[in-house]
Amino acid sequence: MADIFSTRAKAIICRIPAGMVTTYGLVASYSGNRSGARQVARILYASSDKYALPWHRVVNRTGLISPRASMGHIFQKQLLEEEGVVFDENGRIDLAIYLWRPESFDQDKY
């Protein structure tokens, strides 16, 4: 497949277990481009609409949800909380506990 980047990104996002989160950079890194964090975000947004990807399980490197819309991150936070993710008083996710790495799954080559 030529679009390994988007394909991989989607595949990875799709495999994020409920109650877990990952970061853009991490997904990008495992998709073949450590600087493709932005593309991951874009692919996610564009694809989540058509492929129903769990974009809400992807947060930025600090564990903080990126405020892409006025109420977007609030909704995202809510979804994660229902999956069992706990936020601290700053609305930040404890990556030490909830960070899920692509290496955790069989990343063959796909």
Partner DNA sequence: CTCGTGACTCCCG
Partner DNA sequence: TCGGGAGCCACGA
Out of 12, 16, 21, 41, the residue judged to bind DNA by CB under 7 A: 41
Helix (H, G, I), strand (E, B) or coil at 22: strand
CA distance 5 to 69: 25
**Using rule CB under 7 A, residue 95 touches DNA:** no
**Using rule CB under 7 A, residue 43 touches DNA:** yes
**Using rule CB under 7 A, residue 66 touches DNA:** yes
Out of 23, 30, 98, 100, the residue judged to bind DNA by CB under 7 A: 23
**Kindly report the CA angle at 79 between 56 and 35, in degrees rounded to 5?**
15
- Euclidean distance between the first and the last CA atom of the chain, given in angstroms as a whole number: 9
Q: Which residues bind DNA (CB under 7 A)?
A: 3, 5-6, 23-25, 33-39, 41-48, 55-56, 58, 60-62, 66, 68, 76
